[in-house]
Amino acid sequence: MLAISLLNLSPAHADPRAAAHVENMFRVVDTNRDGVITIAESDVAIETEFRKFDLDGDGIWSYAEVSKQQLDAGASQLPPDVQAKVIAGVYANYDLDGDRRITLANYRQVQTAMLLQADFDKDGQVTLQEARQLHGVVAP
């Protein structure tokens, strides 16, 4: 899942692709280009991404929509049993109340929590350095 998913990356200490990905996702969310991501900027990116993957426009991510997104994002390269586990894990991560529906509110809650996890200095915003630090990404 998108830009906000810069906070979902696995640590990759010296992988230049990981560093580039964090920087790209950071730029997408930092819309005013001031070098920090605020909650307001994050909220806009969260809603944009949610709408992008809500393929039928019903305001809910179905299991099929999450499956398609994950397969398109690279899970298709995994063995079928691993694909199923990845998709189920992603779905469960966002279906906070277990009602088999992922709403914008569910997605926003998880994404905002991840953003705040990267706010190491607790100033209410995230810098590129904090995003890198969260993922153990060494800057080029």
| pTM (whole model) above 0.75 | yes
**Which DSSP state fits 99?**
S
What integer best gives the mean pLDDT of the chain? 87
Q: Dihedral sign, CA of 133, 46, 90, 25?
A: negative
pLDDT in tens, 6-56: 344 444 445 677 788 889 989 999 999 999 999 999 999 999 999 999 999
pLDDT of residue 18: 77
**Among residues 10, 3, 91, 73, which one has the least CA distance to residue 43?**
3
Write the CB contacts of 117 (distance below 8 Å, at least 6 apart in sequence).
7, 134
pLDDT of residue 33: 95
